Amino acid sequence: MPSTNDQVNFVVRVEANRQNRYSASRFRNFVSLVTQFASKSYWAPY
């Protein structure tokens, strides 16, 4: 019988993995948006 702490850690890890998979794609989209915006606005005047 696993301890309560182990069960909590397991649930937290599973939830974190789910959140990471979800946020990883959002983060990639965000990074690509930022890089597009940065390259346009920052490098255009030079």
- pLDDT per position as a tens digit, 14-32: 888 887 777 778 888 888 8
10 contact partners, CB below 8 Å, separation of at least 6: 2
Q: What is the pLDDT of residue 21?
A: 79
* 13's tokens: 């890890």
- Count of the separate structural domains present in the chain: 1
Q: How confident is the model at residue 33 (pLDDT cuts 50, 70, 90)?
A: confident
17 occurs within a structural domain: yes
Maximum Cα–Cα distance across the chain: 66
Alpha helices per DSSP H over 1-46:
4-43
pTM of the predicted structure, to 2 decimals: 0.38
34 occurs within a structural domain: yes
Find the domain containing 22 and state its range: 13-46
